[in-house]
Amino acid sequence: MPCVTWNCRATRAMGVEILWKNLESVMNRLILVVNLTVLLSLNYTLTAWIPRVYWKAAHWAQGLKGRMLKTKVAPSLAGLARPDKNKSNMSSSELPRKEANVLKGHEGAVLAARFNSDGNYCLSCGKDRTIRLWNPHRGIHIKNYKSHGREVRDVHVTPDNSKLCSCGGDRQIFYWDVSTGRVIRKFRGHDGEVNAVKFNEYASVVVSAGYDRSLRAWDCRSHSTEPIQIIDSFLDTVMSVCLTKTEIIGGSVDGTVRTFDIRIGREISDDLGQPVNCISMSNDGNCILASCLDSSIRLLDRSTGELLQEYKGHACKSYKMDCCLTNSDAHVIGGSEDGSIFFWDLVDASVVSKFRAHSSVVTSVSYHPKDNCMITSSVDGSVRVWKT
């Protein structure tokens, strides 16, 4: 009898263990399915309520298992800067300093200029309420996009070049067809001007950053004009946004860079102590570059929030100005209020090159994804193309 009793207890214990594993497996599958649905928009009819359901499911799973994600090992700054020996040995003379083309057509300040994903074309937008499509390498203006009621502050194009999104002072996000110039949809919901927009990797969602202290996500494949997610934990204007496959990252005038992990509903805030007016991500995804209004650019480790380096010498106190890294991650690029462009060495923060690019404030810099080429825009109304 004791032996039989022991076997019964063992059987019960084994059954409980199997039940627990089955429950754990179901939860993991639920989270995976919902995550894929949100990111890929596979089921368009569910996008209005899935984010909220997923947020709760993620927290429930956390309660069962604790933290679900492992923290990545902090990347070496030297390793980030030297992924390719041939690229890392680039001298200052090989940086794009030679003016190849001047793209003129905007009436007033140009607020942003962006390469498309392959670098063959670029988009610009500005105070004249227009978006312009260019072939920067030939200096040819291709198309105008007009529908905004006030200045256009940012623009982004999908990886396949078929759609673009834009935002500005009229508090709306416009979703365009590139070839026809037709506005497919207008997203309304921000209570103030919209400063930045970005597509996710699959071009199914647009995330916007606004003066109303919020980030908002919009489903491009749904007919709904309501946001599918609102993040409003910022204390001041949100100036810039970056996206990864699973995270939304925002930079704010409240001095923080906040990362929101949509898989587990977690927010991480890195306080820089100075207003942030632009953020951009390194090409390997390990670091965030943050431009601040104390005339400095800060490099942060994404996994730990550690301040890796600061870059100074330019003037940035009153204007929103872009910053970025070269396609090799070896140099940091930033504009200045006096019209200059600065190149810093990523590791030692020394200024390796500086030259006067515009007659007024440099509002935007965008580096070619493959070649040693960049475009800059300015309050002087021009977009300039630079090559080696």
Every domain of the chain and the residues it spans:
2-65, 78-387
For residue 145, the surrounding DSSP H or E stretch is strand 140-146
Q: Say how far apart CA 246 and CA 201 lie, in whole Å.
A: 10
3-state SS string for 227-251: CCEEECCCCCCEEEEEECCCEEEEE
Yes or no: say if 266 and 59 are a contact pair by the CB < 8 Å rule.
no
Beta bridge partners of 123: 114, 133
How high is the pLDDT of residue 306?
96
Q: How far are the Cα atoms of 49, 271, 273 from residue 181, in angstroms, in the given order?
A: 31, 41, 42
Q: How far are the Cα atoms of 246, 247, 253, 261, 311 from residue 69, in angstroms, in the given order?
A: 12, 13, 29, 10, 32
How high is the pLDDT of residue 94?
86
For residue 309, the surrounding DSSP H or E stretch is strand 307-312
Q: How far are the Cα atoms of 60, 162, 372 from residue 68, in angstroms, in the given order?
A: 11, 37, 41
Q: Say how far apart CA 322 and CA 217 lie, in whole Å.
A: 22
* Blockwise average pLDDT, block size 10, the chain, 388 residues: 37 43 52 43 31 32 28 41 45 87 97 97 98 98 97 97 97 97 96 97 96 97 92 97 96 98 94 97 96 98 96 96 96 98 97 97 97 97 97
How high is the pLDDT of residue 10?
36
Q: How far are the Cα atoms of 284, 289, 326, 342 from residue 124, in angstroms, in the given order?
A: 26, 22, 20, 21
Q: What is the pTM of this model?
A: 0.78
Q: Say how far apart CA 255 and CA 99 lie, in whole Å.
A: 35
Yes or no: say if 327 and 369 are a contact pair by the CB < 8 Å rule.
yes
How high is the pLDDT of residue 91?
65
Helix, strand and coil percent figures for the chain, each rounded to 5: 20, 40, 40
Question: What CATH topology corresponds to 78-387?
Answer: Methylamine Dehydrogenase; Chain H (2.130.10)
CA proximity to 205, closest of 238, 235, 246, 252: 246
